[in-house]
Amino acid sequence: MTRKQFDITPFIPSYLDSFDRFSDSPYVSFRPAPQREALTGIISDIFELLFPGRSGNTVLSRHSVVEVVTALMEQVAVKLEHQLFLAWFYENPLSLSDSDTSQYARNAHDTIVSLLENLPQLRIMMKEDAQSALEGDPAARSIHEIVLAYPGLCALTMHRISHFLFEKQVPLIPRMISEIIHTQTGIDIHPGASIGRSLFIDHGTGVVIGETAVIGNHVKIYQGVTLGALSFPKDSCGALIKGAKRHPTVGDYVTIYANTTILGDILIGDHTIIGSSAWVHHDVPPYSFVQNEDPRTVIRERKMKS
């Protein structure tokens, strides 16, 4: 059967109108955008750079550590620099013409240089995260197991990279990285969240950490925990105020057990323990223990079938 040609000409004008090309907030920029598939590959390369051998592709027996690290770092720098350039160009925050892209190229290059300068300190923090998992999880057998298998460490590692880029005001890329990791791990951390040293996310599935959340040092979080907003501040016109502090601040040495919901710009004091399934929307002083009242469990005898 011969496929008939379909005349789409009558539908093009009305469809193009839907793009709002001449409005103040277009839904598409008609420029090349950062590529999710490319970023997924870069994320894998970053993991390999931070933890050589993690992917199984690095062969140290045939190359020195210096050679392997040099090659991986160059690969990450070149690929990520291109995606950063696309992000600035796509967003066009400087209102430059399409022919003048030199500022975007400088932004991308300078950001990569800064990232590489800070990578040793970021890697130290990631090693501390892995150590906290080893010390906090009796099921963990080794650092290698945690690096290769634990979703919490995976999410935290890439959060520290995406947060760095977020602080550098890189458009699009930080959120794209966080959502790729969200898809892979089930852990949703906004790149704007500020996280201290030695965080351990155990199991991790369903953890949500909002943009303006602040987490201190040596904190332990279990699955299903939400650090969210209780309300969203608005301006005099009723529009949401972007970036306003609306998520919790969690102090040092805090433990938050599974399925707990903590909402609003509140403070959870140091050394506090919050029990499972708690709902918290007020400040909690240091050295507190927060729990729901014990539910009443009813056990009834079932009649046996004859």
Stretch (H or E) spanning 244:
none
Average pLDDT over residues 271-294: 96
122-168 confidence digits (pLDDT tens): 999 999 999 999 999 999 999 999 999 999 999 999 999 999 999 99
Is a pLDDT exceeding 80 seen at residue 223? yes
Instruction: Just give the CATH number of 31-186.
Output: 1.10.3130.10
Q: How many CB atoms lie within 10 A of CB 70?
A: 12
Measured CA distances, 38 to 34, 74, 84, 190, 272 (Å): 8, 16, 12, 20, 41
Domain with CATH 1.10.3130.10 in the chain: 31-186
237-260 confidence digits (pLDDT tens): 777 788 899 999 999 999 999 999
Burial 202-216 (b: 16+ CB within 10 A, else e): bbbeebbbbbbbbbb
Question: 51-60, 96-105, 221-230: which has the minimum mean pLDDT?
Answer: 51-60
162-203 confidence digits (pLDDT tens): 999 999 999 999 999 999 999 999 999 999 999 999 999 999
CATH 2.160.10.10 fits 193-294, yes or no: yes
2-45 confidence digits (pLDDT tens): 666 889 999 988 888 877 655 555 566 678 899 999 999 999 99
- On whether the CB atoms of residues 213 and 250 are closer than 8 A, the answer is yes
Measured CA distances, 213 to 40, 189, 258, 262, 278 (Å): 25, 10, 18, 10, 18
Is a pLDDT exceeding 70 seen at residue 275? yes
> How many residues comprise the chain?
306
Question: Between 59 and 68, whose confidence is greater?
Answer: 68
